[in-house]
Amino acid sequence: MATTATSALPTALRNLTAAAQRLDFLTLYRQCHRVPFLGPTLFSAFIRYAAPYSASACPRVTQFDLGRCRIELEDRWRLRNPFGSVHALALLNIGELASGMALLSHTQQLGRRAIVTKLSASYHKKARGMVFAECLIPPETVAWLESGEQGAVMVKTELTNLQGELLAVCEAEWTVK
């Protein structure tokens, strides 16, 4: 019986992952936030499950609305580089996640799909302490998405610290179909 239970677990996880890919994340965010105190934690845990690589940075989604996403990244030892600051790829990771969620909030509602095809970042200051990644989809990009055109769109995410200082800018090129 133990083998049946353990072999059923991967199937259940695959089913949950498939369901997560079909789920409207904006609706899930709103439903999670109805749960007092635990709403942001529940949603962030779900995002970590749906995007396992991004989970390695332990991002916390603090704001998510149509075309807008804000993610917090706590400065942790495992995210640090040898120079005592948050590693560049950890910053790029949450920048890409924020851009994807902001864009996804529109593409899901329009029945469209998007995949990141290019990532770049410019780093302005060492990241220490709490980091905030914020992405806002500009109105011209929203109009382009609503027009039904296919192609590439560039989405920018700004990463700042508690003092509001710009740490990095992540640019993600998404191919939308």
1 has pLDDT over 50: no
| Across 26-35, 66-75, 159-168, least confident range | 26-35
Residue showing tokens 């498939």: 18
97 has pLDDT over 90: yes
| Across 9-13, 34-38, 49-53, 56-60, least confident range | 9-13
For residue 102, the SS3 value is: helix
Q: Which domains does the chain have, with CATH numbers?
A: 2-176 (3.10.129.10)
| Other residues' Cβ atoms within 10 Å of the Cβ of residue 84 | 8
Tell me: the pLDDT tens digits for 99-139? 999 999 999 999 999 999 999 999 999 999 999 999 999 99
Residue % of the chain over a pLDDT of 90: 68
160/33: higher pLDDT: 160
DSSP string, 35-81: STTTHHHHHHHHHHHHSHHHHTT--EEEEEETTEEEEEE---GGGB-
